[in-house]
Each structure stands twice: as structure tokens, then as C-alpha cells.
């Protein structure tokens, strides 16, 4: 072992030294919402490739972490997938994109519209059979999102529910799993991001997007601001912030990243 020791010491010093080369480069740290993070990572890659010498570090941890880190200075920019609350007015929000949430059913399900109360009754288990809301005499399979997802939060908030009120039959993770679950089950009802649902629908998945309060679930309606379950995706900063941070936010709001935003099924904030 003793004979090998110098070799390992050398190896370890080489590995640790390689990290020190670019100490002069500027660094930007973003933390917060996991809905926004994948999009911002893509934007950051493009920004880095156009601005050599700048390194951007994107970390997730939820919208509230984004708020806390921006306040404490741990992060230069926070990512928040909701509007800022009144208690957070010391920070300034910059919308980069919009996201909407819609209910989806299987195409074999004859139900085409549900009232707010019917949705609440279905998700709380008061209504257990499709017959009671105008469908076939079959059991309802309620598909809910896993705890901590912002889609879940927004859905619950819109319908005034608590997660423990929901009587679910299947719990899913991401939008894709939700879409596959409903596409494979004629008894199911679930909710997902509008963009993802519209994309799958256009590509032949056997699903129907339900209108909410009579407003058709389309990306166009989210864009017009008339769709009821929509939320802004924000980049937040403290008022006294660096030139680099404001420059990055301007880049994220510019039309130079619209293709990245649309790829993630969001609506660019500069669209209208």
C-alpha cells in the first residue's frame, strides 16, 4: 500500500487542481421551482454559449426556496411558479412564461363538460360513478398528482380543496405519466399541464381536454389570459441586483428563447 500512496496523492491533487482554472469567470446562481428549473437550465445553456466566461448554476428546491434564497442572497435569481404573495413585495417578479392546467378524460368517455361542483364531488369521492354526471354506468378512476407538485397546488387552490380531501385511485408523477394513465383507462379523470395535453391530443392520444368554466382548454386561451387555471412562471430578484442578473432575465424574456419555452409546452410571456 505504501508504494501506491504517492501515486494516489498525485492523482487526487491533479483532480482537485483542475477545478481552480477559471476563478476569474463570473457566476450566476438560480434556485427555486422545479417546474421552472428545466426551462431555465435550457435558457442558461444558450446564454452561456453566447457569453463565454459566465457560468450559470441552476438548482431546484421549490418556489419557497427560490424566495428565501433570493432574500438571503444565496441565489442571484429565484425561480417561482406562481404569482408573488403580498408578503413578498420586497422582491420584483419578471414573468418569462405562462402555464395552464386542464382536466383530461379518455376519448371513449361520453362526458364532455363538468361543472365546478361536479369536479369537486368527483375528486372528493362523493360521486363514484360516471352515470351520476351524465356518463356510462361505470366506476370513476380519479388520477391525482404526487405531493409537492405545483400542478397539484394550483389545482387544489382553484377548486378550494386540501390534498387530504382528495379520494384518489391512482397517484402519478409527471405530466407524461398522467397522460399515459388516462389514455390507457376509459374510466379515468386526471389533470395535467395544458401544453403537454394539447401536444398528445394532436398526436393522436385517445384523450379529451375538458373545458373549465366553459373556457376551452387551448394554449391560445392561456395566451389570451382567459383560461381560469393558469399561472405565471417568474424569475425574481431583489431590487438592488447585479448587471449580470438583469441581463440574464432580459435574455430569458426575449424572443431569442421562445423555441425553448414552447418546447417545454409553456406560453412565452412576450407572446402578446
Partner 1 sequence: MRTNPIFSNALLFGAWFSVGLLILIAVFMVLRSWPFFDREGLGALWLDSNWFPTEGSFNLLPMVAGSLMVTLGAVLLAGPTGVILAIFGRYYAPARLASVYRALMELLSGIPSVVYGFWGLLVLVPWISSFAPPGASISAGIIVLAIMVLPLVVLTVDTSFEQTPKKWLVAADALALQRWSKVWRIVLPASLPSILSGITLQTGRALGETMAVLMVCGNIVQVPGSIFDPARTLTANIALEMSYASGLHVNALFVSGLLLFILTVVIVKFGGLIQEGTRRQGA
Chain residues that interact with partner 1, rule: CB under 8 A: 1, 3-4, 34, 60-62, 64-65, 138-139, 141, 146-150, 162-164, 168-173, 177, 180-181, 184-185, 187-188
Contact indicator for 167, 122 with CB cutoff of 8 Å: no
Q: Smallest gap, in angstroms, from Cβ of residue 154 to partner 1? A: 13
Q: How far apart are CA 145 and CA 243, in angstroms?
A: 39
Q: Min. distance of Cβ 239 from partner 1 in angstroms?
A: 25
Q: Count CB neighbours of 17 within 10 A.
A: 9
Closest CA to 102 of 32, 201, 235: 201
**H helix intervals, the chain:** 5-18, 37-50, 63-72, 116-124, 150-159, 175-183, 194-202, 219-224, 243-253, 258-263
CB of 240 to partner 1, least distance (A): 26
Nearer to partner 1 by Cβ, of 190 and 268: the residue is 190
* Alpha-carbon gap, residue 70 to 31, rounded angstroms: 8
CB of 241 to partner 1, least distance (A): 24
The CA-atom distances, in angstroms, between 269 and each of 34, 95, 137 are 19, 6, 43
Least distance from partner 1 to the Cβ atom of residue 114, Å: 19
Give the CA distances from residue 33 to residues 28, 203, 253, 258, in Å, rounded to whole numbers and listed in that order.
17, 29, 17, 20
Least distance to partner 1, CB of residue 168, Å: 6
Q: How far is CA 126 from CA 129, 145, 165, in A?
A: 9, 19, 11
Nearest residue (CB) to partner 1, 48 versus 174: 174
- Shortest Cβ 193–partner 1 spacing (Å): 14
CB-wise, 114 or 143, nearer to partner 1? 143
Residues with Cβ within 8 Å of residue 86, at least 6 apart in sequence: none
Nearer to partner 1, 31 or 218 (CB): 31
Q: Which is nearer to partner 1, 110 or 184 (CB)?
A: 184
Q: What are phi and psi of 68, to 5 degrees?
A: -60, -45
Amino acid at each position: 500500500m505504501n508504494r501506491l500512496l504517492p501515486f494516489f496523492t498525485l492523482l487526487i491533487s491533479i483532480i482537485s487542481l483542475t477545478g481552480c482554472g477559471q476563478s476569474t469567470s463570473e457566476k450566476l446562481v438560480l434556485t427555486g421551482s422545479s417546474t421552472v428549473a428545466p426551462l431555465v437550465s435550457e435558457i442558461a445553456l444558450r446564454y452561456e454559449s453566447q457569453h463565454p466566461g459566465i457560468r450559470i448554476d441552476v438548482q431546484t428546491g421549490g418556489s419557497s426556496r427560490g424566495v428565501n434564497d433570493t432574500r438571503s442572497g444565496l441565489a442571484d435569481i429565484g425561480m417561482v411558479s406562481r404569482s408573488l404573495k403580498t408578503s413578498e413585495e420586497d422582491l420584483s417578479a419578471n414573468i418569462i412564461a405562462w402555464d395552464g392546467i386542464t382536466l383530461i378524460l379518455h376519448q371513449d368517455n361520453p362526458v364532455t363538460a363538468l361543472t365546478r361542483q361536479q369536479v369537486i364531488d368527483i375528486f372528493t369521492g362523493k360521486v363514484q360513478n360516471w352515470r351520476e354526471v351524465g356518463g356510462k354506468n361505470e366506476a370513476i378512476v380519479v388520477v391525482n398528482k404526487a405531493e409537492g407538485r405545483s400542478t397539484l397546488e394550483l389545482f387544489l387552490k382553484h377548486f378550494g380543496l386540501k390534498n387530504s380531501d382528495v379520494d384518489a385511485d391512482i397517484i402519478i408523477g409527471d405530466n407524461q405519466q398522467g397522460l399515459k394513465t388516462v389514455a390507457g383507462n376509459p374510466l379515468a379523470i386526471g389533470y395535467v399541464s395544458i401544453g403537454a395535453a394539447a401536444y398528445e391530443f394532436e398526436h393522436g392520444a385517445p384523450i379529451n381536454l375538458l373545458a373549465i368554466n366553459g373556457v376551452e382548454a387551448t394554449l391560445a386561451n392561456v395566451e389570451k389570459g382567459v383560461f381560469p387555471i393558469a399561472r405565471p412562471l417568474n424569475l425574481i430578484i431583489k431590487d438592488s441586483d447585479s448587471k449580470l442578473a438583469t441581463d440574464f432575465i432580459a435574455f430569458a424574456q426575449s424572443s431569442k428563447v421562445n423555441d425553448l419555452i414552447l418546447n417545454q409546452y409553456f406560453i412565452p410571456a412576450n407572446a402578446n
